[in-house]
Amino acid sequence: MASHRRPKPANRTRVTVLTATAAAAVALTAQAAQAAPAKPTVKDAKAKVDALYEQAEQASEKYDGANEKLHTLQKEAGTLQDQVARQQQHLNQLRDGLGTIAASQYRNGGIDPTLQLFLSANPDSYLDQATRLDQMTSLQTDSLRQLQDAKRTLDQQRAEATAKLTELQSTRTELAKRKAEAKDKLAEAQRILNSLTAAQRAAIAAADARANRSTTRVDLGDAKPASQRAAAAFSAAQTRIGMPYVYGASGPSSFDCSGLTSWAYNQAGVSIPRTSQAQANAGTRIYSQSQLAVGDLVIFYGDAHHVGLYAGNGMVLHAPKPGASVRYESIGNMPFQFGVRI
């Protein structure tokens, strides 16, 4: 008779191990997929880097503004501290003078004036002394008034100096914050570039190099300058073509955007503010591109964080961004806001 044995059940331990091994393999595969994301395309990477450069420039312009304010506050605080020191010296002199008067009165006012006259061997001499005493009392009253006025002035100057020093410290904090922000954006942009292949990085570098070289073959047309000084400023800026963009730099061998424009106008004998936002309010605004003249400032972006010089024929001369140099570029490459005629 044939034997009908029940099949032997599979070992549970073995099933558990196989299941766990399969699950681990799936998890490792998923982790590997997450750990090795697809390399960004050159186009995507360049878009991200350009956005970070723009953010770095925004921080840089705020840094420039805080730096300019810092220098102004340092001068104002120094002037106030000098005033406080001089006023303190004046107050000390008034106190010394009042002390001398008080000591003299004490020495001469110990006896009742009537008795002094009765005992005096020389009434005429006493009356002369009494007259001088009255004058001295009047002088004391005037000195006290001067002392009170001087003390009031000193307290006010001290309060102003304290407020100015507080503002100075706040500006130093803002300066450090903006500097760190700009550096962080530039570092993030560099990390993106480092994630590309050597060939991709070379392609981006070649594109930037072509953009820089193309500035020597620009047709500027026959546009007229806004003024003789605007023409002088534009000519000065032309001598800086090819100089590198460096955030916070204002020449003569490296520039950020507003550093170039302020340097150029300074060469023409005109002082304009340091930052693009302040330069936006430095003259008469021109809202039509067709009315721009050579040497006019051109303000870009809604927050006015970029500025260049109008070059003619729809071109601007500017310091564009990190990794690029001072060059001509089409005004249409950036969101135009308005021009400013100095």
Active-site positions read 257, 306, 318
Asked whether 303 and 277 are in contact (CB, 8 A), the reply is yes
Given its phi and psi angles, is residue 99 left (phi above 0), alpha (psi -120 to 50 degrees) or beta? alpha
**Amino acid present at 66:** A
Please confirm whether the linkage preceding 252 is cis (ω < 30° from 0). yes
Give the residue among 264, 289, 259, 243 at the shortest CA–CA distance from 342.
Answer: 264
State the DSSP H helix or E strand holding residue 320, giving kind and residue range, or none if neither.
none
Instruction: Report how far residue 96's alpha carbon sits from residue 92's, in angstroms, rounded to the nearest whole number.
Output: 6
Given a contact cutoff of 8 angstroms between Cβ atoms, the answer to whether 113 and 130 are in contact is yes
Q: Are 42 and 203 in contact (CB under 8 A)?
A: yes
Q: How far is CA 341 from CA 61, 106, 235, 280, in A?
A: 21, 73, 16, 10
Place of tokens 């927050």: 303
